[in-house]
Amino acid sequence: MTDVPAVESPRPTDGGLLDRADAVRRDAEERLTLLAGGASMCTIARSGAAFPGGKYHEGRAFVAAEVQRALRRGLSEADALLAAERRWSVVVPRRRGGDWAAYAEGGDDALADLSPPS
């Protein structure tokens, strides 16, 4: 992906899934903000310019937010991950070219990062 200036490391957490999802989401949003230079994703998309580095982080943020929502609804960690994975499978475009490939890769990476080791 695109080189992005270093972002301050997330604050220490207790290691629970909600904290890990929060850290992934904040990191993705901070990197996206740096890459976009203050422009909204909608504005960039309407411009027609390719923005795969940003789309990658947008996908990461989406999945992390889905995990957070599921946990806040009271689902167990395992069920929250499953719910986020199912939602992602519906949302992620099946076309895997250009920006969409980066978006899909970001979300897939977030799911892998948030899932327990196999």
Helices (H), 7-97: 17-36, 41-47, 52-72, 77-91
Q: At what angle do helices 17-36 and 52-72 cross, to 10 degrees?
A: 150
DSSP state of 9: P
Of the chain, the percentage scoring pLDDT greater than 70 comes to 72
* pLDDT value, residue 34: 85
Region 72-91: what's the mean pLDDT?
Answer: 95
Considering only residues 113 and 33, tell me which one the structure prediction assigns the higher pLDDT: 113
Contacts 24+ apart (CB under 8 A), 11-17: 16/77, 17/67, 17/71, 17/77, 17/80, 17/81, 17/114
